[in-house]
Structure 1
């Protein structure tokens, strides 16, 4: 899902990078005319025209699920280090919905979500879309967390349309993607970052979107080693060497600026104890 001057300039390279790492079926949800034109010019016919609305993040996956297709949703402010699809197979027997998590807390990050085309997932997602349409003031990630019973709340659990009671839509089998070493997030807020071997990273989520900016983190507010905000979109997608977007090489092995920016989000280890978003323990 992409629109606006901050992101449209990177559409061509985003698509090329996805193709380079082996993503064969990429669908770009273009939410303004410029994004749609740039998507078509990039050489893919999988461009869907839409209009700006956060609820579109869930309506298009629901349509695809109804068509019998599994869906991996990836926010546009993500750089693919490798094809993520093979790395989902180890979860396939246990979960029907997978979502990225935070580094030092047990909180969801719905910048990347895998939906299996199962009836339980479709019913749950439809309930979420209906609720978000009726409650447009609520943050989408907080709503997803509440609908998964993952910690955050938007209403009492018994008042939500999903849950464990007989009159509620069941919550699908869901789990976290590895947010420490594979499906990682830039250290732009205090509970994000990565650890381990950079060669194991599947993607890096920049937290460059409008909702992330609304959290109050900005370059002017970066302090010391705790939080270092960088415009990672321009660093990762603005490299002078075009081969980064047409070959599957790991970005930190071919570009020193990217390597330095990547390591600004590095931690020596992941905390053993990680609180849930409400401050309790799992």
Structure 2
């Protein structure tokens, strides 16, 4: 996708109170429709390869016992086991959303059947599937405690599916699989606003996601209107260093504004919004 010219404007009513309720709704519909077309926001599924069947084939090299002096993996080791996994973000969750550059805490438990005996001291393999590698591959290892529980902080990365494998023995034909959980990574962006009369200058930066694709990323400066919707006042684009700026002339009043970075081609992150700023042009 090619970037739009800097400071390309979309018409937004500066004084919504001067319009009738129906006229305001019509103007908002036009604006939202224009934004959807111009920003070309794709579906979330476009950032990840197809999920495919599960369990999926994994390389034997993900077995941590290969090359080690141990024949079995942990106390009470058995292939008849239940491996549970979740993200911890305030509570247990199977899907989380994190800004780019942030880590995620993965937890779970490993218990043997039929008595739910904890398998302690077992080394587990963390595998992921992401845009860069549709094939499942190992990114980390962790070990269960005396209760059969484990936790590990995953390194920051792009959106990915995550699962945990338990190989009960060095000669096991296949591992025990956990369910898959989903980590969605959003674009991390901040914005500042400087007001001079009715003109507001916005500056900001996209951070935490690495170098931007050429020729940059589209950024929408949005205003929260009295209908409770976010509408785009002006479009700009961030350079390769992640910095952007834009100007917009408002009617006098108090406004809540933010920056939105939508999903875009060659950028492996979901849409992200900045902190809110309150401005008071006069």
TM-score above 0.5 = no
TM-score normalised to structure 2 length = 0.22
Between Structure 1 and Structure 2, the one with more helix by share is: 1
In our comparison, the structure showing a higher alpha carbon Rg is: 2
